[in-house]
Amino acid sequence: MSIKIDESTQSSNGNVSVIVTAEPLTLDIPADVESAPADAIADGIRTAIRSITQLAAGGRHRAFNNTGTLANEITAILGASGYDIVAPPGYLQDDAVLQRLLELVPAIEDPSTLQQLADAVERVTAAMLVVG
């Protein structure tokens, strides 16, 4: 990703005109910096789902961990207004199931609690200081 900042200003005061033109500043931002926070949120949610210790109905396996598909396919996808964290289709259509998952993985509703996100923000901040 590349950001270009180009600024020109003109002001007039009576017979005097001043034009200030700045050289364009181009920042080349590494691609992984842009997606790092979203990827960290997806990773944190995957880890939290894999860490659920409560048993599912029937008591034969841990809740939401029967096949591993739910956790393994949580991903961050670039959408129209930023990144979306998405789950595989068919897993969370039942409101009761979704509510149970939200109780067991509170980071789904509040990703700011994830250490993975804090670490990603720190890495992004450090990378931006190097770029800038």
- Confidence tier at 8 by pLDDT (50, 70, 90): low
Per-residue pLDDT reduced to its tens digit, 39-67: 999 999 999 999 999 998 888 889 999 89
d(CA 129, CA 123): 10
- The residue ranges of every structural domain in the chain are 31-131
Name residues whose C-beta falls within 8 Å of residue 64's C-beta, 6 or more positions apart in sequence: 49, 52, 56, 70, 71, 101, 104
Average pLDDT score, the chain = 82
pLDDT (0 to 100) of residue 2: 47
For 20-24, 35-39, 84-88, which range has the lowest pLDDT when averaged over its residues?
A: 20-24
pLDDT (0 to 100) of residue 1: 47
Cα three-residue angle 96-70-36, rounded to 5 degrees:
115
For 26-30, 55-59, 112-116, which range has the lowest pLDDT when averaged over its residues?
A: 26-30
pLDDT (0 to 100) of residue 125: 83
Q: Are 47 and 74 in contact (CB under 8 A)?
A: no
